[in-house]
Amino acid sequence: MGNQRGLGLHLNFVCAFLFAGATYTPCLGDQNTSVTVCSEQERLALLKFKNSVEDGSGMLSSWVGNDCFLWEGIHCNGVTGKVESLHLRGDFDVWRQGYKYLVGNEMKSSLAELWNLKHLDLSGNYFQGSQILKFIGSLKQLAYLNLSHAYFEGIIPPHIGNLSDLKVLDLSSNGGLKVDDMAWTSGLLSLEHLDLSEVDLGGARNRDMVFYMIPSLRKLSLWRCGLSNADFGPFLNSSRILPNIKHLDLVGNSFQGPLPSILQNMSSSLTFLDLSGFNLSLAWNFANLLSMIPSLAELHLSACGLHKTHLSSPRHNFSTLSNIQYLDLSGNLIHGTFPSVFTNMSSLRALDLSGNMLNSLVPIMPNLLDLSLSYNQLTGRIPTFLGNLSKLDLSGNQLNGSIPESVGNLAGLTYLDLSSNQLKGPIPASLGRLISLQSVSLGSNFLNDTIPVSIRLLSKLQHLDISNNSLEGVVFEAHFANLSMLKHLYASLNTKLTFNVSSDWIPPFQWENFQLHSCNITNGFPQWLRNQRKLWMLVLSNARMSGPLPGWLRKMPIIPHLDLSHNQLSGPLKNLPNVATYGRYRFGPSLFLENNFFSESIPSSLCRRRDLVYLDLSKNRLTGKIPTCFVDLQQLYTLILSSNWLSGVVPSSVALNSLHQLKLNDNNFVGELPRELANLLYLSILDLGDNRLSGNIPEWVAENLANLVVLRLHKNNFTGRIPQSLRKASHLRILDVADNNLKGTIPPCLGELDAMGNDHDYGYFPGSFLDDDENVEQVMKGVSLEYTTTWDLVYNMDLSSNKTALIKLVGLNLSNNHLSRYIPDSIGNMTELESLDLSGNELNGMIPPSMANLTFLSRLKLSHNNLYGRIPTGRQLQTLTDPSIYEGNKDLCGPPLPNNCSKPGEVPTRSKKKQGASDEKTEVWLFYVDIICGFATGFWGVIGLLLFKKQWRWIPFMFAEETMDKIYVAIVVRVNKITRGREAVQVLWNQS
């Protein structure tokens, strides 16, 4: 919000009331009293609360024993010994999960037994959408209540209005809280700080009471509360509004047109106003606003559509508007030259015009101290004179030329950002004269030459970014030896820059963030790191380091983020430091060791890093099985073990409920997929390709893994059919089951995969955010392509579909399966196809002419099928002249094959049948026609004629009768002959 970017002119009410009234001490009792332990009632109440929440990060680990005075987060009055403060702030965030927080399904009412509680802070924890309970109104002594960022939902209980001593109330950023009636605010007679940001007030009654029923209110934040102009309409009695509010935040509401009249009644008190997102393009100009509230010292109007208004007005003398000191006009698409109106504002100390479309630099403003013009359209060279600035941000423009030596004249400069421009030449040596400089960002330019030794004079420097340039030479001790305050160094992507440090050198500083990606480190693994105690990010990737990890590395303090990838490190995976969370590092611990030569098996000691979030051991030489102890890595978000020599079955220990990405491809895994993988409800990437897995592709892959975006089972031994349940994979963008032993037809349900078929917003995958650095490897156009930062633009299915919905597919690979039947004519509707591979199947029929519609097709492979007929021509197909595209289809003819069809339009005999879906339907129809014709010919053709032609009916009977007579006569004659022969033989026998 705007107050985080300001000059700090507004009051810090939180600090003022944190220890207001009595002095708070840890509950150890006072030396002058006999209080030594807390009351049993309070101890049991606290234990009930502890038992009602999950504490995976150990926030409440000290809550043991009988003396709750010694428990962390508990403070008490030094005289009475009563618990007066419960400070249990976490840092949960649904985007990154945090590392220290409590999880509960409700805020237990046992806290109501802490009668003397004055300070309650449960912010930053995760209460899973539960409601704020009514008991909170019984804590009558509360002066500070903070339940922000805790994921509460439902109606805010009006019982909070009973807390008449409350000075600070923060219910912001829960996302699901709402108010039905604001009347309860009338009871908050002492309230000075109220933050209801992201609380839905759109349907609340008495919304105006928040302005005039709390006379003590000084700071009010209503950021994104669903308010509109109607909420400040005629019903709001502006005469009752008390002019006491000094800080007002109305960011992100649905305001447009005239400013609310309530602002006029605050004109004598309001010093801070944030209207960012308020559409001011319709009826107001900048001058009216400034003259309306002359008391303003800090004003934020970011993204207010000011490019459509008149920033200047001849009726106003801006030199009289002497109170404005901080002005934020970022993101307004203001274009053209720098508005001259600001040059007359003599009081102005800080000006933020970032994210606009200005094409000229600011004129000289002698009183200006803080200037941000980042991400505009500035061109040309940096001016040689920039006034008396203490902060200058010109990043993200198109400035060229060299950095002028005159930059060294800005004696008071503490912050300088010139990154992401087109600057070239050396870093000026005059930079060393800026002895007050604390932060320098020169990254992503074309700077070359060596780093000036004068940089060692910047004794206050804490942040140095020289990454992504063309700097060269040997640096380190001579440049950084005196920089005792340096904490952050970014020198990545300076491939000719060599860091040469003697092994006995002890740096004078304690790094916090040290990144040397794609630089050169000599003398092996940097020995000087062994003395570092505050590192929370260490990146030494692609630094040409080799050999085993040194033994002292495992004795280093915790390093939350360690990246040693893309080196030549070898040996077993041991001597790793403790990669875990601590201190200021706010993201989950990560370990990147990919692209090295680590060997042997994965050590079980890795499982001791239980809060590990990201683990990448890919592209090494690891062998053996995945340790069963991986089941202990319950925080793991991403697990990548691809391109090793791992073997055995895929163990159930990798079925971690927290996983969003699982990549085990290119190993030697065997067997079927473990059923436990069905429990990975948040999984978005599953890559098990290039193994020796077998069995059927189970239905639960799509039924349970509803958030899958990438499913890759390429080159295994899977059998059976493609599961019908894939139609439920509504987020699927990449599907690769090529090079298996799948049989049968392609299920029509694949046409229902909306994420592939439509160009729309794919929505939010619950708990799943794919890293920009995540790689997805696909075989397209005959080569293996690896998509990194642009992978989300890929719509690829290594599988086919006979639906037309997949119009956004770019690559389709169905090669080397047992797919049969024909190529559907609707394939011509997939107009974005660039690569199509259907080779090595059992497809038959003709090649559909609609393929000529694939105007982006640059690679086609239909070889080794049973296709026949003339090869279609026209459009893009004319450019695909390689005969190997069609080899192995002996009945194909026409260019580019040598066997021409005999006549124009003529195809081989077998191809005279109809093609495609109509071919099959025609064959079925002809089959029934044959049966009918046969029946008509064989039955009605004979019997019907006999029925209507009487003479013809006699003929067969007469013929049959004559034939029977002849047969009868022949038989009688034959029998008589045989009888007479036997009688003659008998006579001769008797005579003899």
For residues 125 and 89, what is the distance between their CA atoms, to the nearest angstrom?
Answer: 7
pLDDT tens per residue, range 253-274 = 877 766 666 676 676 788 999 9
Residue 165 pLDDT more than 90? yes
- Please answer whether residues 47 and 63 qualify as being in contact, where contact means their C-beta atoms are separated by less than 8 angstroms: yes
pLDDT tens per residue, range 628-646 = 999 998 889 999 999 999 9
* pLDDT given for residue 455 in this prediction: 92
pLDDT top residue among 966 and 198: 198
Highest mean pLDDT among 679-683, 756-760, 899-903: 679-683
* pLDDT given for residue 582 in this prediction: 55
- Please answer whether residues 648 and 626 qualify as being in contact, where contact means their C-beta atoms are separated by less than 8 angstroms: yes
For residues 353 and 397, what is the distance between their CA atoms, to the nearest angstrom?
Answer: 13
* pLDDT given for residue 394 in this prediction: 96
Cα-to-chain-centroid distance, residue 573: 30
For residues 11 and 135, what is the distance between their CA atoms, to the nearest angstrom?
Answer: 31
- Please answer whether residues 330 and 301 qualify as being in contact, where contact means their C-beta atoms are separated by less than 8 angstroms: no
* pLDDT given for residue 331 in this prediction: 92
pLDDT tens per residue, range 372-408 = 999 999 999 998 888 889 999 999 999 999 999 999 9
Q: What is the mean pLDDT of residues 553-582?
A: 86
> For the chain, what percentages of helix, strand and coil (3-state, to nearest 5) are there?
25, 20, 55
Kindly indicate the confidence band of residue 946, based on its pLDDT and cuts at 50, 70 and 90.
Answer: low
Kindly indicate the confidence band of residue 989, based on its pLDDT and cuts at 50, 70 and 90.
Answer: low
pLDDT top residue among 723 and 62: 62
pLDDT top residue among 93 and 567: 567
pLDDT tens per residue, range 956-968 = 667 777 777 777 7
Query: Who's near 911: CB < 8 A, 6+ residues apart?
Result: 846, 868, 869, 870, 891
Neighbours of 316 (CB within 10 A): 17
Q: What is the mean pLDDT of residues 591-616?
A: 91
Kindly indicate the confidence band of residue 950, based on its pLDDT and cuts at 50, 70 and 90.
Answer: low
Kindly indicate the confidence band of residue 954, based on its pLDDT and cuts at 50, 70 and 90.
Answer: low
pLDDT top residue among 902 and 123: 123
- Please answer whether residues 168 and 142 qualify as being in contact, where contact means their C-beta atoms are separated by less than 8 angstroms: no
pLDDT top residue among 205 and 422: 422
For residues 369 and 811, what is the distance between their CA atoms, to the nearest angstrom?
Answer: 54
* pLDDT given for residue 99 in this prediction: 64
Highest mean pLDDT among 15-19, 123-127, 620-624, 966-970: 620-624
Q: What is the mean pLDDT of residues 733-739?
A: 84
State what percent of residues in the chain have pLDDT above 90. Answer: 32
For residues 607 and 627, what is the distance between their CA atoms, to the nearest angstrom?
Answer: 9
Please report the DSSP string for 753-813 in residue order.
-HHHH--S----BTTB---TT--EEEEETTEEEEESTTGGG--EEES--SSS--TT--EEE
For residues 727 and 720, what is the distance between their CA atoms, to the nearest angstrom?
Answer: 17
* pLDDT given for residue 156 in this prediction: 93
Kindly indicate the confidence band of residue 948, based on its pLDDT and cuts at 50, 70 and 90.
Answer: low
Kindly indicate the confidence band of residue 502, based on its pLDDT and cuts at 50, 70 and 90.
Answer: confident
pLDDT top residue among 410 and 973: 410
Residue 681 pLDDT more than 60? yes
| Structure letter (DSSP) for residue 603 | P
Half-sphere exposure at residue 59, Cβ-oriented, CA atoms within 13 angstroms: 25
pTM for this entry: 0.70
Between 294-308, 794-808, 855-869, the lowest mean confidence (pLDDT) is in 794-808
* pLDDT given for residue 31 in this prediction: 38
Residue 788 pLDDT more than 60? no
* pLDDT given for residue 578 in this prediction: 80
Residue 349 pLDDT more than 90? yes
* pLDDT given for residue 1 in this prediction: 42
* pLDDT given for residue 119 in this prediction: 95
Residue 702 pLDDT more than 50? yes
* pLDDT given for residue 523 in this prediction: 77
* pLDDT given for residue 170 in this prediction: 96
* pLDDT given for residue 956 in this prediction: 65
pLDDT tens per residue, range 459-490 = 999 999 999 999 999 988 888 888 889 999 99
Rg from Cα positions in the chain: 41
Neighbours of 722 (CB within 10 A): 25
Residue 905 pLDDT more than 80? no
Residue 593 pLDDT more than 80? yes
Q: Is the torsion defined by CA of 864, 868, 870, 872 positive or negative?
A: negative
